[in-house]
Each structure stands twice: as C-alpha cells, then as structure tokens.
Structure 1
Amino acid sequence: MIKAMIKAPRAPFVCLQCLQCRLVRPQRRQRLLRGSTTARLFSSSTLRYKSSTNPASINPGSDDIPILSRPPTAPKANIDIKHIRQNPALYEQTCLERNYKTQSAYPSRIIDLFAQWQTRQRDGRSMRERGNALRRQIANPTTIQHEDDETESGSGKTKPTATTTGGDVKTLSREQLIEEARTIKDKLSSIEEDEARLEAQMTELALAIPNLTSPETPRGDEPRVLSYINEQPEQVLPSSDRLWRSHVHIGSELGLLDFTGAATTSGWGWYYLIDEGAQLEQALISYALAVVTKQGSGWHQVAPPSIVYGHIAAACGFQPRDQNGEQQIYTLAQSTADAERGKPELCLAGTAEIPLAGMKADTLLEETDLPIKYIGVSRCYRAEAGARGVDTKGLYRVHEFTKVEMFAWTPPDADATAEVFDEMLDLQTEILQGLGLSCRVLEMPSTDLGASATRKCDIEAFFPSRRGPDRDGWGEVTSASICTDYQARRLATRLRGAAGAGGKLTYPWTVNGTALAVPRVLAALLENGWDETEMTVDIPECLRPWMDGREKIGWKHRRT
C-alpha cells in the first residue's frame, strides 16, 4: 500500500519589495537569501499565457526580461541552472533540434546573466564586510580601536580613515562613520535588488528551455517505425468515395454523430454522440480500464478534475512554443475582484496528465513506494490552434473529448523508468490489438517532442478515409512519453531515499501514456468496421460485453 505522502517544507517566500526594509537586519537577510532561489522570484500576480509574458517573446540580448509570475502558493520550481551553464552547447542543440529557435539563445544569455550576478555578489560581499566593521566601531569604539591596533602590523589593515583634499590622512568621526554606514546600506540595497532581478531572469530563461532529448530519439522530422499491430492494410487506393466512407458520413448516416447541432450549440470542433455512438464511448472507456487495472497490475484508478491552475499546466510543459503565443489550452476568465486579490488563474486541462502530475505537487515521496502508477478518465479540452483540412475533419481533431490516461512516478533511473514506459506501450498495444485495428508503433523524432518529453512513442492506426495520393492513411491514436525530472522539478515533487543520492532529496521521473483517446479510436472503428453492403459497423468482440452483446451497429440492428 502506498504510504501517506509527506508535504515538503516550503522555503520562505521573500518579496522583492521587502528587501529594502530588511537591510537593517543583515544577518537575517543573508539567511533568507541563501534559501531557495525561486522562493523570492515570484510576486502574487497570476501566470498568464500571453505573448507579452511568454518566454518565447523574451529578447535574449535585453536586460529587461519579463517575469512569468506565479502565486506565492504555487510549488517552488528548482531548475538545475548550473547544468545549463556548464553545458550551453548541449541545451542550444536540443532547442534547435526541437524547433525552439528562440530558446536556443537562452543558455548563453544565462551565462552572461550569471557573470553579472557574480559581480554583484563580490560587490555585495565587500560592502557587507565594510558595513560590519563600521557597525562594530560605532557600537564599541574602544574595542574596535584595540582590534585595529593588534591587526595593523599583521594584516595591513588600518584604522577607519579618510583622505583630505591636500593628501593628509585623518581618523573618521562617529558622525562620519554613521553617514558612511548609511551610504553603504543604500548601495547594498541596490546591489541586492540587482542580484534578485538577475536570479529571476536566469530562472525564467531556464524554465522556458525544453527537456534534453533522449539518445533513442531520431533527430530531424522523420519517425522510426518500431513495430506493427495486427495485419497491415491493403496497399491499394480507394476506388470511390463510397467504398471507403469516412466516419463522418458513416456516423451521420447511422445516426451516431451530430456535427451540425454541435456547430449551432458550441461551434466548429464540437460534436454529439448519439445512441450506440454514446454507448460505444462508454464501452471503450470500460474496456481500457479493464485492460490496465487487471488484478496485480499495480495501476490505481483516479477520477481527476478537469480544471487546474494555470501554473500547474505550465509546470507540466503545456505552454506555447512560438513567438505568437498561440494557446493550446483554454483559460477561464477571472472576475475583476479575483484578479485584484491575486487569485490564481484557472484553465481547462488539455489532458489528465496535468491534474495527475499535480496530485503530488509540493510533496515528498518515498523511494520504496515507487513506481506509483495512476490511470484516470477525464474530459480534455484543447484550443487546437492551426490549419484545418481533410486530415483533421470529424472526430480526428476536436476541442473536447474523453481520454483514459496513464501516469507514473518512477525512481530517477533510466532502466527503472524504461520498464514502466515499456509497460505502457505493451498496454497500449494490447488495447489496440483487442480492437482489431491495424496500427504501427513509432519512435517520434526530435521535432515532434514537446517541452517536457525526452522521448516519445506514438501509435498510429489506419484510417481508410485518410488514404490518398499524397496521404498514407495513418493517424495518431496514442502517445507515451518519458519526461525525466522536468515536471517534478517544476512541481516541487521531491524524492527521499533514492539510490546514489547520498541521503539527499532528489526528484522522481515521470512517465505518461494514453490508454485510449475515445474520438479517434471511435472514428477508426467506424471506418474499419464499415460494411458497405449491409450498411452496418462491426463491433469488436472485446467491446460487446458493454454493448449489450450486440455484434453490429446499424438501423436494422437498433433496439427500440
């Protein structure tokens, strides 16, 4: 049984505006500044996906780098900026291989900012040393005078002095020492503000850099075929539109789909499932859950929320990559009162991966509990910005759909993670094999990877309606990704007891995979199971227990 998760202790939150007032207590301030970097980088305003605050809009050569602010209650991200500084060419190459061209300049920019930060650190250290000496002399002039006499010959230090215009040296008075202390305090305030600004800029640039790419991933834009599922489709083109009808025509003719009514109600990209269409959706969900959660599998079923905080979605890697700031997720409008109170912005989850990952945000896991494997059924919402065409018509690309999603936390070990990843691929294969669909398993190329994935495998099913002179008929129905510690670091999901960590806290790795995306699989079943002569669709045997035992869908088989 999974042990109760222990909430990780929060680092103290430090408001940038409070640095000035804290200068009167330098020792306390220094302790705070040695805490988590990101604990003092974010204000109480909410994270918004707009081009004005999108990391892709940052000018790498500008000192004015906008901050993607997060509420103080958000998990405190801990990005390994040191690794980026030590391997700038690796991160630059990764960005270019994934078409993150703007972000490819961020590693060198981080190095420049770090050099500026080091300069501020040296200046601040010198100021603090002088300020401490002044405070000691102001508090106890006799003691500091005795200390100066003892150290004068050994260290070369001299008594507090000032040089006059004529070149004579004189001892500073108490009033002059106090004035110099005030001046140092003001300078130190400015230095510390610069330090915090530079740290914030480095963190924001680092947050925008995608994960490193796995050696297993093909570079470029061509996937590598790993294997096939079931028999492959005949390599012939359709002789007529009627021979290979699309699921849009089949579903409409059998009264299973209604796109016209949905267009009136909600717009393009929404749909109604009717009668056996709606029943088939529930059958697919039940079938996928039965396959994954069979006895001894270790998968725990979860019913996750469909609305999440925007900063949680961003931490999972769901943010625009282009400079136009096009959104793939829907954000919920805030009232003026909520915005003024700094209430975090909410968005509709594009996949159950987001709320499942967020379950362990700001949580300390035990290595003995890993892997933790969850499977969740949820409604998913996607803006799906981009071009429309014959390949995206009907159910293939929609704004709202039901999906069964697998998600797991694994030890930070490549072999242990690969074992869970392969398990997900095996489950996906078992599900699609049982449905009788012709599929191919692909190792996806670097240009197809999102921000969080280091490796991704897709499974494509054959759609007769997608075949044409310049189209091969394949379409994605599932995907599985390894994200290493990309999401865990951004969600502050920490791990205790990891092998090789030397007792220190580290970060688990995350893996996600689609068990079944209903609309596309439903569309593939309609097209591949269509009988033109009988005007019916065959129901796969594995789904019949949830379809009242029926073998076919058609008007003459419909029960009233």
Structure 2
Amino acid sequence: MLDIKYLREHVKEIKTNCANRLAKVDIDLIIKLDSDYRASLATTQALREERNAQSKTKPTPEIIERMKTIGNQIQAQENAATVVQEKLFELLLAVPNLTHNEVKISTNEDDNVILEQVGEPTAFDFTPLDHLALAEKHDWLELDRATKVTGAKFYYLKGDLARLELALINYTIDIITKHGYEFVTTPDLAKTDLINRLGFSPRGESTQVYNLADSDLSLIGTAEITLGGLYADETLKASELPKKYVGLSHCYRTEAGSYSKFSKGLFRVHQFSKVEMFVFAEPEVAESIHQEILDIEKEIFNGLEIPYKVIDHCTADLGNPSFRTFDLEAWMPGKPAKDETNGDWAEVTSTSNCTDYQARGLNIKYDNGTERNYLYTLNGTGIATTRGLIAILENHQQADGSIKVPKALQPYLDNKQVL
C-alpha cells in the first residue's frame, strides 16, 4: 500500500494516477477517514493525559466520577478509531502503486508498448495443429474426464506431456538458480489477510482467489504470495539483501470474468504449476534487479527456441502493486488472432517492480545501521507450465504430429529428440 503521509501531501497526483490506472477509489474519503482517525487519536491522548494528571491528586467524589467518565470516553474513542482504521486500511489497499515515469499513460488496456521482438512467428510447410489436437493425437491430455472429477478447466497430463512438464520445471529452476536464486517449495495456501496486504484484493466479479469456507486461508494464485509473506513483520539487515528466491507451487485461479476470453484446452485453467522468482532488495538496486529478472525470463524462452515479444505495460494494464511490469508474449500458432486467422501472441511471463508497496502492507523493513525503511519487492515468472507447454507443442510440432524437443530440454527427457 502507499504511504498515507505521501497520499495526504500529494492528493492531486494520486487522483491522476488512479484515473490513469482505471482504479475506482474515493481518495477524498481516504483523506477524511485519515483526518478522523488522527483526531480520534489526539482526543484519546488528551483524555489519557487528563486521567494521568487527575490520578496524582487527592481523589474526591467529583474526581472519581470524572475518572470513570474519562475511562468510558477513552474506550469509546478507541473503538471508534478501530472502526475508522479498518475502513481506511481497506480503502488504502485499493489505491494502486505509483507509476514509473517511462510507463505509457493510457486508459486502453491493450495499449502496451512493444520493446523488443525475438524471432519471427513459426512458419510451417504443413497445416499446423493447436495444442489440444496435438495432445489428443498422442493421448496426452484428459479434459472431459477431469471435468467429471473436478469440474471444467481442470486437466490430467499423461505420458510424455506429464514428463515434459517436469522437464520444463527442472530446466527453469536450473537456469534461475545459477543466477544466485535460492530454490524453495512453498505452501499452496496462505492467510487471506496476508494476500490482501500484498495487494491481491479484488472483490466480486473480478476476484481470482479461491477462499476456503470457514477458514482464514485461501488457495494461492502465485508463489509471489507465499514468497512475499516469508518475512512479514520482520526487519532484515541491509547486509543480507538482496534476498533472491525461486519458488515452485501450484497456482489456483477462479478466472472470474474471463468467460469472453480465449480458454481452449490448457490456455486458461483453474490450476497449474508455476516457477516464480521473488526478490527482497534495497531501493537503489531495484531497477537493475528488475532488468535481471527480465533477462532471465528471456534466457529461458531463448533456450526453448520460442519466438516472443517483450511488452511494457501501459498504466491501464498495471496490477495494483506494480510500479512497472514487463511481459513476455510468446507466439502461439494455434491461438486465434483478432482477425480470426490462426496464430497470435500470448502472455507467458510477467515481471514487476512493486517498490515498497507490498513491503508496507506486510511491514517488512531493512536496517542499514542508521535507519529502518521499507524494502522493495520484485517478482517474475520463471515458467507457468500450461502456457509453456502450449508454446512448445505448437511451435515445435512436426508434419506427422510429433514434437521436436528443444535442445535445452533434451537432458531432462533422457536425451529424447522427439516426442
């Protein structure tokens, strides 16, 4: 979340930023609640001071009665302040992060900037199949039977496709760990309050979170949540930073509001495995680490021999916690384009610099020996296996429907060259 003091002193800037990022939040109400909260604290403090002063005098019936009244007033003020503070906290979570000055200002979510394209769309001398047809040809995927067990948008991977997923995970982890990231397996559940404090707090039709009934836990949509919460309410030594992690988890998303979006086969599902990078850093090195994460993502997809674009999100397409976000969009020959031809680009990775937005929500600080400040957090996708599998199947298919294994993955598949 943003620093309330900064918000208080930069109301016009915050309102403009919210408009640019399509965030509907009542900044004026936040300012009013903040004022009410501080006034309530001041009144409570004055009452405590009066009570302390009265306690040093000889008690009289009038003083005793006044002390009772003060006690009741303090309790009432504290109760009122708690209610205001909770509402203020909830509204602050809805205010997006500040925005990098190089990010394109646009209220069109599709108005993202293409920074780079690596490779050309894969060309075939035959009519290519999409990933679903390829998987069906090899009996690698169970969708209908998964629907019987769990419902729509779940799946079973079988045979070589299941092994390919494991190969993809291990290949990605090996690349990331050689850059100094510590490998971690994380829980698939997190406290709902922690998820909210990280900035994953959309409600109603836009929520992506599965909340467990009669519990304060939710299924995570990314290991960014469980890695980000690792040091909640702690202060780290500056000498320990940066702390770089690569986590493996299952991810669960309701995909609410996505009924009109492309969702064939594995493209948009409720559960998938993902390798995620997460870094705790000092502010001064955050931008260089952001670039490092992007370079690692590019290294992964270069090794997979898949064409991709590097995208810089415009303001309308930034998530609440993000200061700046880069995506890789891979070429997927089986994905319908807007002109109804086959073949289009689709997001496969995302990396964000969240500055101190998440750290403030989680109360994570660092101590440099002279002062304590909120640290910066950064995250990035190593591989989301379902999208990665689609890209491999569709770009590396052969005329007979077999799949040529990228050289970088062959050591993870008993040196097989073709599946």
Distance 1:260 1:113, change over 3 A: closer
Distance 1:232 1:189, change over 3 A: same
Identity of aligned residues (%): 34
Letter aligned with residue 547 of structure 1? L
Q: Name which of 369, 373, 381 aligns with 1:506.
A: 373
Q: Name which of 455, 458, 465 aligns with 2:327.
A: 458
The aligned runs of 1:108-187 (5 Å cut-off) are: 108-120=28-40, 123-124=43-44, 127=47, 131-132=51-52, 134-139=54-59, 174-187=60-73
In 2, the alpha carbon distance for the partners of 1:405 and 1:548 equals 25
In 2, the alpha carbon distance for the partners of 1:304 and 1:121 equals 40
In 2, the alpha carbon distance for the partners of 1:269 and 1:258 equals 11
Q: Give the conservation status (yes or no) of the 8 Å contact 2:306–2:395.
A: yes
Give the TM-score normalised by the residue count of structure 2.
0.91
Q: Name which of 179, 183, 201 aligns with 1:319.
A: 201
Letter aligned with residue 113 of structure 1? L
Give the TM-score normalised by the residue count of structure 1.
0.69
1:219 and 2:142 matched: no
Q: Displacement of 1:362 after TM fit?
A: 2.0
The aligned runs of 1:63-142 (5 Å cut-off) are: 80-101=3-24, 103=25, 105=26, 107-120=27-40, 123-124=43-44, 127=47, 131-132=51-52, 134-139=54-59
SS state at 1:214 partner: coil
In 2, the alpha carbon distance for the partners of 1:525 and 1:487 equals 34
Unaligned 5+ residue runs, structure 1? 1-77, 140-173, 335-343, 554-560
Letter aligned with residue 99 of structure 1? L
Cross-structure match for 1:357: 228
In 1, the alpha carbon distance for the partners of 2:237 and 2:385 equals 34
Q: Give the conservation status (yes or no) of the 8 Å contact 1:229–1:429.
A: no
1:256 and 2:140 matched: yes
SS state at 1:515 partner: strand
Aligned CA-pair RMSD: 2.4
In 2, the alpha carbon distance for the partners of 1:126 and 1:496 equals 33
Q: Give the conservation status (yes or no) of the 8 Å contact 1:330–1:383.
A: yes
Residue deviations 1:447-486 (CA, integer Å, cap 9, x gap): 2211211110010011112244526601000110011111
In 2, the alpha carbon distance for the partners of 1:119 and 1:353 equals 37
In 2, the alpha carbon distance for the partners of 1:123 and 1:290 equals 58
In 2, the alpha carbon distance for the partners of 1:206 and 1:253 equals 51
In 1, the alpha carbon distance for the partners of 2:250 and 2:36 equals 47
Unaligned 5+ residue runs, structure 2? none
Letter aligned with residue 117 of structure 2? Y
Q: Displacement of 1:317 after TM fit?
A: 1.6
Distance 1:131 1:310, change over 3 A: closer
SS state at 1:85 partner: helix
Letter aligned with residue 136 of structure 2? S
Q: Displacement of 1:495 after TM fit?
A: 0.6
1:550 and 2:416 matched: yes
Q: Give the conservation status (yes or no) of the 8 Å contact 1:263–1:269.
A: yes
RCO (CA 8 Å, sep 6+): is it higher in 1 or 2? 2
1:449 and 2:318 matched: yes
4+ residue runs over 6 A deviation? none
Distance 1:138 1:376, change over 3 A: same
The aligned runs of 1:137-536 (5 Å cut-off) are: 137-139=57-59, 174-220=60-106, 221=109, 222-233=111-122, 243-294=127-178, 297-320=179-202, 324=204, 326-334=206-214, 345-388=216-259, 391-413=262-284, 416-468=285-337, 470=339, 473-497=344-368, 503-532=370-399, 534-536=400-402
In 2, the alpha carbon distance for the partners of 1:440 and 1:549 equals 29
How many residue pairs were aligned? 414
Q: Displacement of 1:364 after TM fit?
A: 1.8
Q: Displacement of 1:121 after TM fit?
A: 5.1
